Amino acid sequence: MFLGCQFSLYPMTDRFVEVILGAIDRLQNLGDRLRVESDDLSTLLVGAPEVLFPALQECFVQAAGRSSHLVMNVSLSRGCPGEPDDPLCHSAALGGSVEPTAAGRVSAALGRLGPVAPTGIPAAAQIALYPLGRPDYMAAIGDCIAFIKKSGLHSRAKHFCTRMDGDAAEVFQAIETSFLCFGGHDDHVVLTAVISKGSPSPRPAAG
């Protein structure tokens, strides 16, 4: 299993350099549990989801505290057949004998949601799930949308993606669950997400 993401922080401020570096420099503390590589476009994270997702959320929270409008862009990938197995990525979240089945995956995903410590940061996100190599991929996408609608996060249909609104901690939990629960353990699954805080543009009505 190879699991990771490319992500970027976009603080809409003249002080963007210090906001970005102040957030991603803290990732170095996770040195032996997460592979971290930054360039001028994005930062690569490779590791197990239980390490990777808290690190992503912490980066968002750190940067959000120092920029009135901030966007994080993330492309997550797991199981790409072109990537090597990496022990750093081994995780109970994608192992064990219980494979998600189409019939039970929405309720399994809902069952994975638990109480989270709120960050106090209202976030809006839009995500798109791409289960690759499977003719039945549209059913998995439909189930993921059904999960988000039932998650309690305010959501709204958009072309090409699904929107959700909530505390940043709830949003990151829903993104992690969407990424892990819709596709077999060894499937190649991609999820893209844009997570935004503090846009001055009006939020659309629910629908």
Complex with a second copy: residue 14 or 85, whichever CB lies closer: 14
Contacts with a second copy, 101-140, as mask; x by CB under 8 A: -----------------------xxx-x-x-xxxx-xx--
CB 72 within 8 Å of CB 9: yes
Burial zone of 157 (CB within 10 Å; 0-12 exposed, 13-18 middle, 19+ buried): exposed
Complex with a second copy: residue 80 or 108, whichever CB lies closer: 80
Complex with a second copy: residue 39 or 114, whichever CB lies closer: 39
CB of 135 to a second copy, least distance (A): 5
CB 108 within 8 Å of CB 100: yes
| 3-state SS track over 105-130 | HHHHHHHHCCCCCCCCCEEEEEEEEE
CB of 24 to a second copy, least distance (A): 11
Burial zone of 153 (CB within 10 Å; 0-12 exposed, 13-18 middle, 19+ buried): buried
Residues that bind a second copy (CB under 8 A): 4-6, 8, 10-14, 16-17, 38-42, 44, 46, 69, 71, 73, 75, 77, 80-83, 124-126, 128, 130, 132-135, 137-138, 141, 158-161, 163, 190, 192, 194, 196, 199-204
